[in-house]
Every structure is written in C-alpha cells, then in structure tokens.
C-alpha cells in the first residue's frame, strides 16, 4: 500500500472538557489544559469526543471548543473534532460547522443507540465524509455504541477519498493487520493499555485519555517506535502501566482523568456533567492506590497530588441541556 501523508499527528489527546463547579465550561482552564498537553508533546488534540463529554455539551459549546483549541494550538498541533451524532443530518451540521470553525479533521463515531446495520453505517459514514473536505477518522468503539464496524465495511469505506484513518477501540489485532495490509488507512490506538501493541503491528499513533495527564511518555513511545527502538518504547510503556490502570479501570476515563488533573492542580474543578458523577469513596481509594505505584513517568509529579473527594462528588446539571440543537 502507498504511504500517505498523516494530517492528524501521532500523539493525540482525547481532551477532557474542564468544567467549573456548577458544570459550566471553564474556558480559561480549557485554554491552559490544551497548552499544557501540547507543550508536553501532543501534536493533536481531539475536542468534543467521548472523553470531552460530548453527549452533554451543547452544539455552541462544541463549536467554541474547536475555535478555542485552534487559537491556543496556533499551528503547534492539529485540532480534530469528535463526537458527531447518532442522527446523520445532525452529524453533518456539526462537522460542517466545525470545519468553518477551523478544525483540521473530524472523527466520526459509529452511530450509538440506533444499532444500524452495516449498510446503515456505510451510508452514515459516507454521507458525513461527503459533507466536508476535512480528513476523516472512523471511530470504532462497539463497547459504547453497540455496533462494530465490520472488516468488510471498513474495506469499502477505505475507498472514500476523505476517509483516511480508524480509531480502534475494538482490540481485534488480527483484523487491524488485515486492514493495514489491504488498504491505505492509518490506525490510531483507542485503548490506552494497548498503545504499544497497536504501534507494533503498524498503527500510526494514539488517541489517548491518559495523555491528558501525561503526553510526554506517549511522545517518547512514538519517537522510539519511529526510530525502531523497542527497548525504549517498552520501558516507557511499562512505566505508564499503573497510571493507565488508575485512569481507565475503576470509573469512566473522563471521571478519573479529571479527578487526577484536579488533584495535581492542573484544572480548577473535577466536576463532570450528569449522568456521570465523580468517584465514590471506594473508587477514589482504588485510583489513589494505583497512583501510588506510578514512578518515573515524565511530566507527572505525584508528590504534589492532593485529591479532593468532596469536590469530585456528584455531577452537575448545566444551565442549558446538551441535547439542544
């Protein structure tokens, strides 16, 4: 297969959306967090994705996140808009508005809840990709959407000129190898625990939740793999393992990432929007037990970790419901 240019970056952060304690977007914190991630080694920022709580963001908030991220990045990182919608017409509207707002690419999630057939998926992805000139990442995450993008469907979608990549949270490495062998598609790991295994079979990069806390070690893994240095890549992977477990195991990744970022003083509140809630006491204790095992991870100084379980408790109802158009 021909090697094509990568318009997305390699270390992509699945960005959390910092909120104030009342659940409204903390825009200064958004700007600071994006800048922190880029300075730590991220060359791509995915806003309004699953980790960004897209399902409870309003459309104006989603578009403003693209605009703010584009301004903060100032050419240092690509800005990808995620989320979309399980309604094809609405997804088209959002991605067209995101393109006008300055997005460098779009990540189209498999329509959730509807449970469409593969023919429905094919039509949805094609119509959204037709509606924008931006490069497209397909987001295959059946654990959240209920429907996988099957191998045969991916092969057909690979023929669309705008569809260039897949974010894989399915974990079928044999299928991924088949697709990489038979198409020009790039793959991005959508599973923080399996970034290095994905890269080892030919993935281009990652779109990670834990990268909100630590972009630098992912940059080290990518650079080492690019240089053919498996030893360095494996060492960074192993050092990250307890941090990944802390973020991805006990509560939704968004919840844990915000809890940790707030404990490190990097965002002003760990608030999430309902139906997400902060970790319960026993969940917070498990997260903190995992963090106690983290050592020598670049950019993560846990000696300054001061968790606030009271601040993290519960969830917020925003002033405007996120389902408004």
Known binding positions for pyruvate: 51, 207
Using an 8 Å Cβ cutoff, are 140 and 170 in contact?
A: yes
Choosing from 139, 187, 218, 259, the catalytic residue is 139
Q: Which has the closest alpha carbon to 222: 245, 253, 189?
A: 189
Q: Which tokens sit at 229? A: 């240095």
Phi, psi (deg, nearest 5) at residue 278: -65, 165
Annotation marks residue 187 as catalytic:
no
* Residues 267 and 18 sit within 8 Å (Cβ to Cβ): yes
Distance separating the N- and C-terminal Cα atoms of the chain: 41
Which residues are documented as binding site? 51, 207
Kindly give, in sequence order, each residue whose CB lies less than 8 Å from that of residue 235, ignoring residues fewer than 6 positions away.
Answer: none
User: Does the annotation mark 78 as catalytic?
Assistant: no
How large is the C-alpha radius of gyration of the chain?
Answer: 18
Structure tokens at 219: 């940059």
Distance between CA atoms of residues 79 and 91, nearest Å: 18
| Nearest alpha-carbon partner for 259 in 231, 224, 291 | 291
Active-site choice (64, 167, 187, 259): 167
CA distances for 285 relative to 76, 247, 279, angstroms = 37, 13, 9
C-alpha distances (whole Å) from 49 to each of 131, 202, 262, 283 are 19, 24, 20, 24
Extract the runs of DSSP E, i.e. beta strands, from 232-277. none
Of 115, 38, 40, whose CA–CA distance to 78 is shortest? 38
Cα–Cα distance for residue pair 79/194, rounded to 1 Å: 23
Catalytic residues: 139, 167
């Amino acid at each position: 297969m021909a090697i094509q240019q990568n318009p997305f970056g390699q270390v992509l952060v699945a960005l959390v959306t910092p909120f104030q304690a009342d659940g409204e977007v903390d825009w200064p914190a958004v700007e600071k967090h994006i800048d922190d991630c880029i300075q730590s080694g991220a060359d791509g920022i995915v806003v309004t994705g699953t980790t960004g709580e897209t399902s409870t963001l309003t459309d104006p908030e989603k578009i403003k996140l693209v605009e703010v991220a584009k301004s903060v990045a100032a050419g240092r990182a690509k800005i990808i808009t995620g989320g979309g919608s399980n309604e094809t017409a609405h997804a088209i509207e959002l991605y067209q508005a995101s393109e006008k707002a300055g997005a460098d690419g779009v990540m189209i999630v498999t329509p959730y809840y509807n449970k469409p057939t593969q023919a429905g998926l094919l039509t949805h992805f094609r119509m959204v990709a037709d509606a924008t000139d931006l490069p497209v990442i397909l987001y295959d995450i059946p654990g959240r959407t209920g429907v996988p993008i099957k191998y045969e469907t991916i092969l057909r979608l690979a023929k669309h000129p705008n569809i260039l990549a897949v974010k894989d949270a399915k974990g079928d490495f044999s299928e991924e190898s088949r697709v990489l062998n038979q198409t020009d598609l790039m793959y991005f790991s959508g599973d923080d625990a399996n970034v290095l295994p994905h890269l080892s079979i030919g993935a281009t990069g990652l779109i990670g939740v834990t990268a909100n806390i630590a972009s630098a070690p992912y940059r080290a893994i990518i650079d080492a793999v690019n240089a053919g240095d498996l030893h360095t890549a494996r060492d960074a992977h192993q050092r990250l393992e307890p941090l990944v477990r802390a973020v991805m195991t006990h509560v939704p990744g968004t919840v844990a990432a915000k809890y940790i970022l707030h404990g490190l003083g990097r965002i002003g509140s760990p608030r999430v929007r309902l139906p997400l809630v902060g970790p319960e006491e026993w969940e917070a204790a498990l997260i903190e037990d995992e963090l106690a095992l983290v050592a020598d991870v670049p950019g993560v100084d846990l000696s300054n970790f001061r968790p606030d379980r009271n601040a993290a408790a519960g969830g917020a109802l925003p002033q405007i419901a996120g389902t408004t158009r």
